[in-house]
Homo-oligomer: A and B are copies of this chain.
Amino acid sequence: MTRERPLRADAARNRAALLAAASEAFAAQGLDASVADIARRAGIGKGTVFRHFPTKDDLLAAVVLDRIDVLAELAQELLGAPEPGEALLQFMEAAAGQQRHLDLSFLRDAAGVNEMLDGTRSELFTAITALVDRAKEAGAIRSDITGMDVILLMCAPNHVVTFVPDAPPDLWRRYLSIIFDGLRPEGARPLPAVS
């Protein structure tokens, strides 16, 4: 497809440093960390950032793509786990443990700016749905839960924790645990009809 010449040694090095720095910066200061600051963290010039990624959004997309990749792979693995309920919980824990502020950013761009991102994303979606279906069949979670529910809820802990100052780094576990409990079928009240 796209003629892809190998990167020059220094270019590859810079690109890697840039991605790492961007990940750090987004996690630390939210997604409106300035490009200049990211470049500073990476020890490169601002111009170089835009050489590698034409737009700040493209840089963000690249960072997010990495996360999605990892999660998709994990979801695939966990499809073979013996305990479907436990597998789903493990997946949600991995997802919630991801870097902050990137939470749901991979849902942001409705119109696929980046094809590759869209591809991996839908891959992740179907994997999650499969994970959820297995958990439902095993009776580990109630039957009216959807993959989208899981995606949305698994990101909530990371977000709410953002607002408590000096939070212990694993406070999110507390809220994920509560939320996961809410998915269980025992004594579940019917979900409100949503128009």
Taking Cβ atoms with an 8 Å cutoff, the residues of A that contact B are 104, 107-108, 110, 145, 148-149, 152-153, 155-156, 159-161, 163-165, 168-171, 173-175, 177-184, 186-189, 191-192, 194-195
Contacts and interface: CB of A to CB of B under 8 A. Distances in A.
A90 B80 CA distance: 41
Contacts of A160: 104, 152-153, 155-156, 159
Contacts of A178: 145, 149, 153, 179, 182-183, 191
Residue in A156, A161, A168, A189 whose Cβ sees the most chain B Cβ within 10 Å? A156
Q: A-B pairs with the 9 shortest C-beta distances?
A: A182-B182, A181-B182, A152-B160, A156-B156, A178-B182, A173-B192, A104-B163, A107-B163, A168-B195
Contacts of A161: 152
Count of identical protomers in the assembly: 2
A124 B169 CA distance: 27
B171 A189 contact: no
B186 A164 contact: no
Contact of A174 (B156, B168, B191): B191
